[in-house]
Amino acid sequence: MEKIIRKNIDTLELPFASGFLSEPLKPRENIHLLGTRCLNCGVVLLGSRDRCEACASPMVKIIQLSRRGKIWSHTVMRYVSPWPFAIPNPHQPPMPVAWVQLPEGVQIISRINCNPDDLKIGLPVELVIEKGWEDETGNDILMYKFQPEKKERK
C-alpha cells in the first residue's frame, strides 16, 4: 500500500500580531486596522487595548480605522535591519517608511509600497494587507502596509 506523505496542507493565514487586524481575514480587501479610542481623552492609537495609553483610563472602545490617510513624515531605509531569525530575510533596500496619519488622528509607522522618489509629506495613501513573511511552520503572516492612493478612473 502506498503511503502518501503530505506537507503543509494546513498552512494558515495569520495576523502579524493579535488585536491589530479586523476579522475575518478573508477577503483581504475588507480587513481594517483596529485602533483603540479613549472615551475619556479622545486619543486614538493603533491596536486593541484595555487602557488608554495617553491618560490611563479604562474607558476605551475598539474601533476599525479608516483605510485612507496621508503621509505625515517619511524616510527611506538604505540598509536592511539585523535579522535574528532562522527564516530568510525577505527585505531589500531601499525601503520607504512613513508616519501615516489617518482621519481619526492616529499616526502609524508603516512601510510604504512606492518608489522612494514619490514620498512626500501630505501624499494620500491607502491601506494594503499583504503577506509580510512566513513563520517557521510555513504559515503566511499578514502585515499592513500603505501605498499611494489609486486614483479613480473617470
Residue 103 CA to residue 89 CA, distance in Å, equals 33
Closest distance to another protein from the beta carbon of 72 (Å):
7
Residue 53 within binding range of another protein, rule CB under 8 A: yes
**C-beta closer to another protein: residue 6 or 85:** 85
Residue 136 within binding range of another protein, rule CB under 8 A: no
- Whether the bond between 27 and the residue before it is cis, its omega within 30 degrees of 0, is yes
Residue in 23, 53, 29, 30 with CA at minimum distance from that of residue 41: 53
Q: From 4-12, 21-29, 45-53, 146-154, give the range in contact with another protein by CB under 8 A.
A: 45-53
Cβ atoms 126, 149 nearer than 8 A: yes
Residue 148 CA to residue 154 CA, distance in Å, equals 18
Interface with another protein by CB under 8 A: which residues?
16-17, 41, 43-47, 53-54, 72-85, 90-91, 95, 97-99, 105-109, 111, 116, 121, 132-133, 141, 143
